[in-house]
Structure 1
């Protein structure tokens, strides 16, 4: 989508109307308009006045193009002119090519203020000098962000002291489990609450397989990684084991006893006929496979409201067993997706003020994610917190339903989509707070010096991992080959780099 600017006429009309307001009204605008923010004017970090020329913020997001984006953008500009004396130019990037487009924009000097940053790209952006160090502005203009996220989370996106971005406010802990069709579990009298380990599932699969010999009992390919009892240190090439050995010692996960045991169990299940035969090559989602009617279970991350979502996606009532009771909080979970400021910004100070506003203005968040009330959504509860499509509108004909709260700055201050509990955001907060933090929580390693090795390691992983994790190959034969290929591709260098940086970081915390 090309950039779109408000017409000069609309901007001039709005600015003139602001001049017409008395200075006292202008001074109290941010405080009196409680609907626009969960904080006060200081939380929003605004210093602009209506006597200044409006600053135009260029804001890029990753998501689907919306037919009514121009209309929603115009409504957003009304509130940002009112609250910040700024306008916003929204740029849509697709999930398929966002990385290439951002790379070109950053390298080419295109006008860009706010940009989305996946953590794995941060080090290369910093190394190329393409990001603004937010440490330069956070104390003066970022108190709203700190209030919303908490200081440890807000300040966690740092590499060697360079604060590259703030994380999207979302559920971040590692709790995961085995999702099963409830009708099948009930039919075979499976006590779901008694299933606590991988080994517990062997007897369950054996029982159901005898009665449903043609059913795929376990589908998907991420059967080992979903149950996260290690801190992957972002890329998984060198991890911290939370339950075996020293949790500050970087090790190769694929040589641990945990991985060896799990991958051998997958092989046993595959040979017994429990696992979908083409699990390693299938591109269909697990939910769709269940919906098709011939699949029983799959592993998945679990969050509050998860089953409501999966019941719809799977077309069956689902239930879940929490395997291994793994509840951890890692930097890679919290800082997976972040918001930062491009070095291309014409005024990083104003861009930061807008970023703080994005984390504190519920009015902005609702417009960006859900669109315009009455046109793109309606309230379905008296408290006006839960929304749904207006009459006659659904997902097939909606002209605006961005619905990417997990990615946007702060979904916790936005409306809740119908079907979720009314206290879903409080549940998310409690969910994160219940997790055990990794000893490396807050640490993000600088991967720039091992970029070539990481590319080679990713290629090796793509070659071996799915086949091993689904039991499609004999681990006694293939796992040694996998580990040799990893070390040949530079795994030891990556692990040493992580360990050296982690040791320095841990020492600085004493």
Structure 2
């Protein structure tokens, strides 16, 4: 018995020593560049669960070469956070992205997250078609996004009180203008004051045409054209006729493609095309940012905001100066200008939503996707200021910052105004609130006319926007084909719904 007691005592002592040693071992750490999990981030999944891969479709210039490296870093972090991995797929602006996403949604492909907007993978159409998951239950269960955006802004993208996507927290108004090459502005001492309409940039274009034989004065690609400086308050897609004037002058919806202002624009572009201010192949160009990176263009029309020139400097590796032309307005363009949706075919909608939430709450995740890996793609100047490493030749310089999450968590670049975010807030306060804010057009009754009118616009807009064709005969044919496509019935239905909606305001 004494031997047994001694043996039991020895075993007990060994167990106690073992427990003491175990308690002294430090917990495992994530890599040195990884911050601690934020309190607002949901707890990680049970380790025994298999890691879920989330497929995400995003619009952009290209699939950056170093995307696999960035995702490798990100997925180490996401493994601990949510037990998920991201598979990011970027498709080119315009028709490429729309075709890829719309085809995938219609076929029921198991995508988990897609970028959508009123101008890309059309939010209204795809939500109404049942291709997007209703997010209200997740917004209630995980309230951080609602708290960051505010209910009013979030409600601006709701359809019949239901949210099918979440908007980026960014500027809430917009204006239009030009970006022009800083080196050429300084070389020729150009006067940028007084350019308060799209055509008043012509003297600058002439200077470049006369003195810089290797430079095309104006860069146009698809809808990225000075036509946008007319700033029509569109009722539907960019390529669907029907818009209001952007100054609240009245509540009459017109065919914006055939309005007097648009006809004047087509004639101006034709004149500029004949003078050599516009590239002869402009009607076939697809990606404005990639063209701007080439260094072969002087000016490009752009949607602007405080510090847009600095952002494009970083994206292109070329210094630009912005010319604000139109006045800021708040429209449906902002509430649905950049959103993330979860397709109905996703097999992991809750995991997808929790990842989306990180883009609003987790500064590390947001900036890793925006700028890449520290000391590889950028270096830190201070805690919140960075400098890109060789941006023109970088393997990761996607310019994603405004497309998702909370943009106010983005690092500032060293060439940006330290007061950028304060100026964003002031910019938001300047905007004229358009009468149509909150109006959502229901296309159900005129889907045939919309489809037919889209086809007609797609057949003509590139040639007219770039001045590549004679205006009068082309507009005459354009008008006839739109009429045959049912444009009058379409605009009448828009007006009917808008009038009914105005009565409820």
What is the TM-score with the length of structure 2 in the denominator?
0.75
CA contact (8 A) 1:181 1:297 kept: yes
Between stretches 420-429 and 202-211, larger displacement belongs to: 202-211
Equivalence for 2:491: 495
Tell me the CA shift for residue 130 of structure 1. Answer: 3.1
CA contact (8 A) 1:59 1:90 kept: yes
CA contact (8 A) 2:331 2:434 kept: yes
Tell me the CA shift for residue 238 of structure 1. Answer: 0.3
Tell me the CA shift for residue 196 of structure 1. Answer: 2.2
1:299-378 aligned within 5 A: 299-310=301-312, 317-323=319-325, 325-345=326-346, 352-373=353-374, 376=376
CA contact (8 A) 1:115 1:339 kept: yes
CA contact (8 A) 2:195 2:323 kept: yes
Equivalence for 2:451: 455
Q: 1:197 to 1:412 in 2, by over 3 A?
A: same
CA contact (8 A) 1:72 1:371 kept: no
Between stretches 478-487 and 120-129, larger displacement belongs to: 120-129
> Computing the radius of gyration over CA atoms, which structure comes out larger, 1 or 2?
2
Q: 1:272 to 1:405 in 2, by over 3 A?
A: closer
Equivalence for 1:146: 146
CA contact (8 A) 2:227 2:262 kept: no
Q: Work out the CA distance in 1 between the residues paired with 2:397 and 2:112.
A: 24
User: In the alignment, is residue 297 of structure 1 matched against residue 299 of structure 2?
Assistant: yes
Q: Work out the CA distance in 2 between the residues paired with 1:290 and 1:381.
A: 25
Can you give the 5+ residue segments of structure 1 that lack an aligned partner in the other structure? Answer: 1-19, 22-32, 81-85
Q: 1:206 to 1:402 in 2, by over 3 A?
A: closer
Equivalence for 1:132: 133
Pairwise CA RMSD of aligned residues?
4.1
Tell me the CA shift for residue 157 of structure 1. Answer: 1.6
Equivalence for 2:381: 381
CA contact (8 A) 1:290 1:297 kept: no
1:107-506 aligned within 5 A: 113-119=112-118, 120-138=121-139, 140-171=140-171, 173-182=173-182, 184-185=184-185, 190-202=190-202, 216-220=216-220, 222-236=224-238, 237-243=241-247, 245-246=249-250, 248-282=251-285, 285=288, 288=291, 292=295, 295-310=297-312, 317-323=319-325, 325-345=326-346, 352-373=353-374, 376=376, 379-386=379-386, 388-389=388-389, 396=393, 398=395, 403-506=399-502
Q: CA offsets, 1:255-295, max 9 Å, x none?
A: 322223322333344445544444434557487479555x5
Tell me the CA shift for residue 327 of structure 1. Answer: 1.7
Equivalence for 2:11: none
Q: Work out the CA distance in 1 between the residues paired with 2:203 and 2:141.
A: 57
Residue 298 of structure 1: SS of its match in structure 2? strand
Residue 472 of structure 1: SS of its match in structure 2? coil
Q: 1:77 to 1:292 in 2, by over 3 A?
A: closer
Equivalence for 1:17: none
CA contact (8 A) 1:141 1:356 kept: no
Q: 1:245 to 1:310 in 2, by over 3 A?
A: same
Tell me the CA shift for residue 350 of structure 1. Answer: 6.0
Between stretches 276-285 and 486-495, larger displacement belongs to: 276-285
Q: Work out the CA distance in 1 between the residues paired with 2:149 and 2:394.
A: 35
Q: Work out the CA distance in 1 between the residues paired with 2:192 and 2:71.
A: 49
Tell me the CA shift for residue 172 of structure 1. Answer: 5.6
CA contact (8 A) 2:391 2:397 kept: no
Tell me the CA shift for residue 489 of structure 1. Answer: 1.7
User: In the alignment, is residue 93 of structure 1 matched against residue 89 of structure 2?
Assistant: yes
Q: Work out the CA distance in 1 between the residues paired with 2:440 and 2:137.
A: 19
Tell me the CA shift for residue 170 of structure 1. Answer: 3.5
Residue 122 of structure 2: SS of its match in structure 1? helix
What is the TM-score with the length of structure 1 in the denominator?
0.74
Tell me the CA shift for residue 231 of structure 1. Answer: 0.9
Tell me the CA shift for residue 499 of structure 1. Answer: 2.6
Q: 1:473 to 1:131 in 2, by over 3 A?
A: closer
Tell me the CA shift for residue 476 of structure 1. Answer: 3.0
